[in-house]
Structure 1
Amino acid sequence: MSIKTVVVIGAGIMGRGIAHVSVLGGFNTILNDVSDDFLQKAQDRIRKDLQQGVELGKLSGEVMNTSLQRLGLDADMERAAKNADLVIEAVPERIDLKLELFARLDRVCAPHTVLASNTSALSITEMAAATKRPQQFIGMHFFNPVHKMKLVEIIRGLETNNETFQTVESVSRKMGKETVEVRESPGFVTSRINALIGNEAFYMLQEGIASARDIDKALKLGLNHPMGPFEMVDLVGLDTRLSILNFLHQTLGEKYRPCPLLVKYVKAGRLGKKVGKGVYEYSDNPGGPS
């Protein structure tokens, strides 16, 4: 199936990143969210990230300008999605929210449209069942920051057909990504492993085994991780990590029980870089944690 128009639902950190790589991949892309203000901020950040790519010599000014011309903004979801070939959902990790969204999308999208979720843990089959096109439903799990991270996990639901899989695999590669095929399971591959590492890091911090900074340093220098677990959770969002852990705890058992310290941080509003403080605190223009 030929994909020309991609619609991304949700203009947060993940959604704007997916839109970024989509326009770079040559796709006409419409970014949708509930307000024009959210959309304008996302467009400004995409432009800033593309400009940084030009300054680093990773792309030309011409490529940047052409890519930005492919980006459209629309706060009306039904209008944005009605002519889409592929819709990628990037809304918060709440199954009720996603089920409602996909039921609406199924009603307004053309019969050929492929629906994809960027979920990092939730059931593709359950979301597909909210539509009348489960054969054209699939998981496309991108990683933050999307324009830098090379992987997309592709997850089939129970009824996902081969054409849908091959289509999103091709789209992912045009977006500059490597892909892995993952059988549907709570947390897939990366979230299932990363949640354990991050949760154990919080238990170590709670027990006073080492400081957050030294735990991060140990995993980066000793295990060759590009980011420490606390740097990672501040980027992902502590509320997002807690939501994933709660889901994995419910579906996979006690080893995923969220650390009480993580729960306490979320209750305190320390949600990560997006609010200026998480495990670390951040200035308005952070070069890193302070």
Structure 2
Amino acid sequence: MGRDHSSVLGQDQEAAIGVVGGGTMGASIASQSLLSGLRTTVIEARPDAASRAREHIIATLGRARSRGFTDISAEVVDQNLAVVVDYERLEGASVVIESVPEIVELKRDVLQRIRLVVGDEVPIGSNTSAIAIGSLQQGVAGAENIGGLHFFNPVPASSLIEIVVGPSTNEATVAVFRALAERLDKEAIIVKDAPGFATSRLGVALGLEAIRMFEDGVASAADIDQAMVLGYKHPVGPLRLTDLVGLDVRLAIARYLEQTLGDRFAPPELLISMVEAGHLGKKSGQGFFGW
């Protein structure tokens, strides 16, 4: 009988999480994991990227501590956090979260590398925004223990995790993901595997239409956002959210959804030209707004 990973997630001393990919989302997931008392190992591709990810995580937790959101000490963070390039350090993890760019082949390769270390029974969650989980399960050992774990940026400030059930995902894995969501103080929704799931499909549709409106001169970026914030009680407008997510990320998701769901997700020319110009949003300093 395999290890009960959902049970382990409730035990402070034993629970360990692996995160592969220490970019914006991976670092944010790792920060929340540490805030929840989990030993956390982040895998990056290169030593310089690992150093940047570690600095990002430590800075995030430092800001949270200075603002009174947590009392986690720097010593505890140092004790519970490892940011490395060696996949072997994932051994012993109760759950591993893949958070690399939205490229099917890359994600599938990462899943296979994780499997070689942790075995077939350890649940792996893919933090994909739109890629069908079934396409990631193909050819990967232990496919029944792979599903979607879609987090939202910034993870510590978000209350939602979207659990996506792939065609091979079993109930035990869903139970582990539910337990992880609870441990991370998040609310989980369960979604059937489909391109874009629930959140990205709706969010990208709104974001693309907002870009088209701005492109057509219907209103300024600020006023389009205010329409949704004040009129529909959205916490942030669709154009500012696009800046936060990254215009390149939104473009990649739109192109994937266009291929799988049709022309209604075709990216506007303005989005394409902004990405080509390097105006990627907050991470580049310029998007629909200046940062």
Aligned length: 280
Question: Which of 41, 59, 69 does residue 79 from structure 2 map onto?
Answer: 69
One-letter identity of the residue aligned with 1:54 = R
Cα distance in 1 for partners of 2:248, 2:257 equals: 14
Is the deviation greater in 163-172 or in 95-104? 95-104
Would you say the 8 A contact 1:85–1:112 is kept in 2? no
Aligned residues: CA RMSD = 1.5
> 1:58 aligns to what SS in structure 2?
coil
Match of 1:7 in 2: 18
Spell out the pairing of 1:127-276 with structure 2 (5 A cutoff).
Answer: 127-276=136-285
One-letter identity of the residue aligned with 2:53 = A
Would you say the 8 A contact 1:23–1:68 is kept in 2? no
For residues 174-229 of structure 1, what are the alpha-carbon distances to aligned partners after superposition, in whole Å with 9 as ceiling and x for unaligned? Answer: 01111000011110111000101100011101111111121112211222111111
Question: Which of 40, 63, 76 does residue 29 from structure 1 map onto?
Answer: 40
> 1:154 aligns to what SS in structure 2?
strand
One-letter identity of the residue aligned with 2:109 = E
TM-score normalized with structure 1 length: 0.92
> 1:140 aligns to what SS in structure 2?
strand
Spell out the pairing of 1:99-114 with structure 2 (5 A cutoff).
Answer: 99-114=108-123
For residues 72-120 of structure 1, what are the alpha-carbon distances to aligned partners after superposition, in whole Å with 9 as ceiling and x for unaligned? Answer: 11112x2222332211000000111111111222222234311110001
Is the deviation greater in 111-120 or in 39-48? 39-48
Cα distance in 2 for partners of 1:61, 1:107 equals: 33
Deviation, 1:26, is 2.0
Deviation, 1:70, is 0.9
Would you say the 8 A contact 1:139–1:155 is kept in 2? yes
For residues 25-75 of structure 1, what are the alpha-carbon distances to aligned partners after superposition, in whole Å with 9 as ceiling and x for unaligned? Answer: 22211011112222222222222222222222222254x642442111111
The answer to whether the aligner puts 1:83 opposite 2:92 as a matched pair is yes
Match of 1:280 in 2: 289
Cα distance in 1 for partners of 2:65, 2:206 equals: 35
Is the deviation greater in 78-87 or in 135-144? 78-87
Question: Which of 122, 125, 130 does residue 134 from structure 2 map onto?
Answer: 125
Cα distance in 1 for partners of 2:59, 2:49 equals: 15
Cα distance in 1 for partners of 2:118, 2:175 equals: 20
Match of 2:12 in 1: none
Cα distance in 1 for partners of 2:207, 2:139 equals: 32
Could you tell me which runs of 5 or more consecutive residues in structure 2 were left unpaired when the two chains were aligned: 10-14
Cα distance in 2 for partners of 1:252, 1:61 equals: 44
Would you say the 8 A contact 2:91–2:118 is kept in 1? yes
Q: Relative to 1, partners in 2 of residues 1:28 and 1:207: Cα closer, same or farther, differing over 3 Å?
A: same
Q: Relative to 1, partners in 2 of residues 1:73 and 1:164: Cα closer, same or farther, differing over 3 Å?
A: same
Cα distance in 2 for partners of 1:120, 1:131 equals: 20
> 2:155 aligns to what SS in structure 1?
coil
Would you say the 8 A contact 1:26–1:67 is kept in 2? no
The answer to whether the aligner puts 1:98 opposite 2:70 as a matched pair is no
Q: Relative to 1, partners in 2 of residues 1:43 and 1:222: Cα closer, same or farther, differing over 3 Å?
A: same
Cα distance in 1 for partners of 2:286, 2:34 equals: 31
Match of 1:48 in 2: 59
One-letter identity of the residue aligned with 1:233 = T
> 2:156 aligns to what SS in structure 1?
coil
One-letter identity of the residue aligned with 1:124 = I
Would you say the 8 A contact 2:120–2:145 is kept in 1? no
TM-score normalized with structure 2 length: 0.92
> 2:283 aligns to what SS in structure 1?
helix
The percentage of aligned residue pairs carrying the same residue is 37
Is the deviation greater in 121-130 or in 145-154? 121-130
